[in-house]
Structure formats: C-alpha cells, structure tokens
Amino acid sequence: MPTYVDGFLIPIPKKNLKAYRAMAAVGGKIWKKHGALEYRECVGDDLAVQGMKSFPRCAGTRAGETVLFSWITYKSRAHRDSVNKKVMKDPRMLKMIEEMKDQKRVPFDMKRMAMGGFKVLVEVMK
C-alpha cells in the first residue's frame, strides 16, 4: 500500500539538541496518538559524503550547527491531512505552538527549516 510522507530538514545549533529532543518526543507522541504510522527525528552523524552535496550545505548550516532529518509517515495524503487536523487541536500541540511564538524558546530557526509532503515512489519493507 503506497504511503505518504512529510519530510523535514532542519539546521539546528548543537547546543539546542537536548531541548529539541524533549520537544520532538512530545510531538511524536501527539502524531502517533492521532494516527501517524511512523515518526522519526534523526540527527546528522556521517555527513561528509565525498562527491555529493551534503545535508549541512543543503540546510545552510552555520558554525556550531548540525542538521536534523525527520519524517512522519501516513497511509495517504488524505490520512495526513486528517491526522494533522487532529494534531493541531491537541492541547499539547496548542501549548507548543503558543510557546513557539517566542523565538527565544524555540531550539531552531523555523524560517530555515525545509519541509514538504511526498508521495512514496518505491517502498521495500522487508
């Protein structure tokens, strides 16, 4: 069954990873509660691949930063839209959104985050 994925590439100061992890752990619980199939938050590790454009370069990282590569998987785009409507009404998410209005409380610069929805082209599960 083809799935749908929301993907994210986020430059983040390394010093803010602990705060991001705490925020993402709550976010993951919220998305999973409302029906997301999978929620992953990954921090860059082996990023100096020769002969290719690197994730840090794509994300425009600065000194002291690394990248997060994250995704949420759904049954379909319609399922994604349904899940996200529920997520945005969840009191925990509303609290996070309110806190994020103060940029000093957000562990990354949201204006530098890249995101998009993707139709899965190939899926090999086992």
Percent of the chain clearing pLDDT 90 (strictly above): 82
23 domain residue, yes or no: yes
What is this structure's pTM?
A: 0.92
CATH for 8: 3.30.70.100
Assign 3-class secondary structure to the chain. CCCEEEEEEEEEEHHHHHHHHHHHHHHHHHHHHCCCCEEEEEECCCCCCCCCCCHHHHHCCCCCEEEEEEEEEECCHHHHHHHHHHHCCCHHHHHHHHHHCCHHHCCCCHHHCEEEEEECCCCCCC
Alpha-carbon distance of 5 to 75, in angstroms, equals 9
Instruction: Count structural domains, the chain.
Output: 1
Residue 124 lies in a domain: no
Q: Which tens digits make up the pLDDT trace of 58-115?
A: 999 999 999 999 999 999 999 999 999 999 999 999 999 888 887 777 899 989 999 9
Which of 121, 95, 97, 119 has its CA nearest to residue 110? 97
126 within domain boundaries: no
Residue 18 belongs to some domain of the structure: yes
125 occurs within a structural domain: no
Residue 38 lies in a domain: yes
Confidence grade of residue 23 (pLDDT, cut at 50, 70, 90): very high
Q: Is 29 inside a domain boundary? A: yes
Tell me, yes or no, whether 79 lies in a domain.
yes
Residue 51 domain boundaries:
4-119
C-alpha 2 chain-centroid distance: 20
